A and B are shown apart, each in its own frame.
Chain A
Amino acid sequence: AQSVAQPEDQVNVAEGNPLTVKCTYSVSGNPYLFWYVQYPNRGLQFLLKYITGDNLVKGSYGFEAEFNKSQTSFHLKKPSALVSDSALYFCAVRDKDGATNKLIFGTGTLLAVQP
């Protein structure tokens, strides 16, 4: 079965420092991977996705993610964190049956950026 794992419940980083939020996946076939962000009292917002092509994917708000097939990882990164980046981040993989478009989500990682 398709799955994703986010090994860290929380990541703390100082403003201005680089940040990484980790995600590993387990899929059969080619993975279709997504990152979403949830700000307090807001819905989920799409950040970026990897379907095929360049392993480095650029997304919204200065975020990027690196697809690493050998390590089955899709870590979210940003060169310089902002306090406003503090939110709950979800990694997701599309289910094997693509026709359903179901997303399988990780458990989420809370990012806290200190001023």
Chain B
Amino acid sequence: EAQVTQNPRYLITVTGKKLTVTCSQNMNHEYMSWYRQDPGLGLRQIYYSMNVEVTDKGDVPEGYKVSRKEKRNFPLILESPSPNQTSLYFCASSLNPSGGTITQYFGPGTRLLVL
């Protein structure tokens, strides 16, 4: 089944404790992206990646890092989480968008609580 998976689905942590949220897709997509969803704000893009070893900042990158060492994986790293990073996080993937408007497919989400 074609899908985007994220782990963990739920996470409670404390301020300053490094964490990684994994994202993996099995559709051989070049493009991957991370969004956060907050009430009243919709979804906002954190980082995106056009292909392996190619990443760039989205609208709200502060406090986050990403890496793209393999095509299928795009982990989101919080080096020193803070309470304002409490949110619902979504990973998404699509084919290479440079040829036109391509539909993105989203993972199930990771709900993070930073105490």
Chain A contacts to B: CB under 8 angstroms: 32, 34, 36, 42-46, 49, 51, 90, 92, 94, 98-103, 105-108
Contacts and interface: CB of A to CB of B under 8 A. Distances in A.
B34 to A, nearest CB: 11
B102 to A, nearest CB: 6
Contact of B45 (A44, A45, A102, A108): A102
B31 A45 contact: no
B97 interface: yes
B104 interface: yes
Interface of B: 4, 31, 33, 35, 40-45, 48, 50, 56, 58-59, 90, 92, 94, 97-98, 100-109
A34 to B, nearest CB: 7
Contacts, number: 64
A45 B109 CA distance: 11
Specify which of B42, B59, B103 lies most central, judged by the most chain A CB atoms within 10 Å of its CB: B42
B97 A100 contact: yes
B106 A107 contact: no
A105 B37 CA distance: 10
B108 A101 contact: no
A101 B31 contact: yes
Contacts of A103: 43, 45, 104
Contacts of A106: 42
